[in-house]
Structure 1
């Protein structure tokens, strides 16, 4: 059985203190992330800004345990609605900004 959104709010609040990054579940943030460059609009469960790999692992574990989805997002300029959804939006553009490797020959 898939948990309803109100059922997950206390769990999201507990998750928020375990992350080094941020997770927002306020109406304004969710509304801002409900659209992209497409005509689609879907209010997400929450919007996360993971700070490191550990945060991403915790988000994956949370989504799996609570039968919700993760929607990866960076620029959010999809034209077909791929970066909107009713799960947790995971915006990595705030903290994951370094190039880890550059190999000109490849």
Structure 2
């Protein structure tokens, strides 16, 4: 028995629609993942900076290579917190005086 032509076209269109729909959802999910990572990194950075300002000392009148706040831990190590919330330990040459605001 031969299937009618319109049923074959309908099945083909349905299968094509399902494939396109799944591909679109995957691309949309990647956008959500990217946004979630950015939010997560920002949250981690804020949390580490808050913890550092409480547990460690802030190095007054000094700043990091790009104007970041410099913290000093109990071992007298100087560090900054990057945009992902990780502590980046600095060499003496990477720390400079804060620029005065006019």
Q: Same fold (TM over 0.5)?
A: no
Larger Rg: 2
Greater relative CO (CA pairs within 8 A, separation 6+): 1
Q: Which has the higher strand share?
A: 2
Q: Which has the higher helix share?
A: 2
